[in-house]
Amino acid sequence: MRNLIAANWKMHFDIDEAENTAKQMANSLKFTEIDVAVCANFIHLDRLNTVFSKTGIKLGAQNMYFEEKGAYTGEVSPVMLKSVGCEYVIIGHSERRHIFGETDELINKKIKSAKSHNLKPILCVGETLKEREDAKAFDVIARQIKEGLDGVDAEDVVIAYEPVWAIGTGVVADRNTIEEIHAFVRQIVGNLPILYGGSVKPSNAEQLASIKDVNGFLVGGASLVVEDFKSLIEKFIKIKGED
């Protein structure tokens, strides 16, 4: 299994800022030990495809619709993502689940569609603070994985464990929490890569990388600053090396 660190740029950057950041990444991120991907906004993908074309950096989207084409105003299809060079697509990010009301059923349709178009889905799972306090974290995560992957040949699927309360908050989950959730997810998904996401930054990357069953990171805020993103990748590689 190859480790993966994926950037999630969310709804940041205009087109020039995105291109400039991508160019800086193309010049400075030359890692061969692990896979590195940038999941950018739809409108950035075509330009970034050009910037990353002769580099090892892979391109990803942050969402997609499950249909190939048709009367779905405002949506973007897997065919479109392939046509601009995407290899990955984030599916079921907590912001999609909680702000845009995506259900496990919809997420499952998107995963099936992504797979059938040779896109590698990064399926995000994770509990809210309330669910954790109510001791429901394991049930929620098991449900999200089982329903998300129902009827799916899971080869090439990546799982990202992102506790909702740790995303963009600066609060990173503690070692025991991550260790026990990743071990639990491992029992369900076998040898699929399991990323950790939630306030990963250079200052905690080494600590997080040293946790068993952490096969990479999904990184929001710290991926917007090239030096920070580079530094946390270096720290991950220092601990995990090449798997």
Candidate ranges 76-84, 108-116, 194-202, 228-236; the one touching ligand PEP (CB under 6 A): 194-202
162 is catalytic: yes
Q: Indicate whether 167 belongs to the interface with ligand PEP (CB under 6 A).
A: yes
Q: Which of 205, 218, 226, 237 binds ligand PEP (CB under 6 A)?
A: 218
User: Whose structure tokens read 């600066």?
Assistant: 170
**Nearest-angstrom CA–CA distance, 130 and 217:** 24
DSSP 168-203: TSS-PPPHHHHHHHHHHHHHHHTTS-EEEESS--HH
Which one of the listed residues 44, 93, 117, 182 is annotated catalytic?
93
Residue 45 · residue 86 · CB < 8 Å: yes
The secondary structure of residue 120, as a DSSP letter, is E
What are φ and ψ of residue 124, in 5° steps? Answer: -90, 135
3 state DSSP class of 129:
helix
Which alpha helices (DSSP H) does 84-174 contain, by range? Answer: 94-98, 104-116, 129-133, 137-148
The secondary structure of residue 40, as a DSSP letter, is E
The secondary structure of residue 159, as a DSSP letter, is E
Which one of the listed residues 95, 127, 131, 162 is annotated catalytic?
162
Candidate ranges 98-106, 135-143, 213-221, 229-237; the one touching ligand PEP (CB under 6 A): 213-221
Q: Indicate whether 241 belongs to the interface with ligand PEP (CB under 6 A).
A: no
What sign for the dihedral angle of Cα 176, 8, 58, 192? positive
Q: Choose between 192 and 219: whose C-beta lies nearer to ligand PEP.
A: 219
What are φ and ψ of residue 173, in 5° steps? Answer: -65, 150
Candidate ranges 53-61, 114-122, 144-152, 160-168; the one touching ligand PEP (CB under 6 A): 160-168
Q: Which of 35, 220, 229, 236 binds ligand PEP (CB under 6 A)?
A: 220
Residues 8-47, mask of contacts with ligand PEP (x by CB under 6 A): x-x-------------------------------------
Residues 114-153, mask of contacts with ligand PEP (x by CB under 6 A): ----------------------------------------
User: Whose structure tokens read 């940041």?
Assistant: 12
Q: Indicate whether 200 belongs to the interface with ligand PEP (CB under 6 A).
A: yes
98 is catalytic: no
Q: Which residues are catalytic?
A: 93, 162
Q: Which residues bind ligand PEP (CB under 6 A)?
A: 8, 10, 162, 167-168, 197-200, 218-222
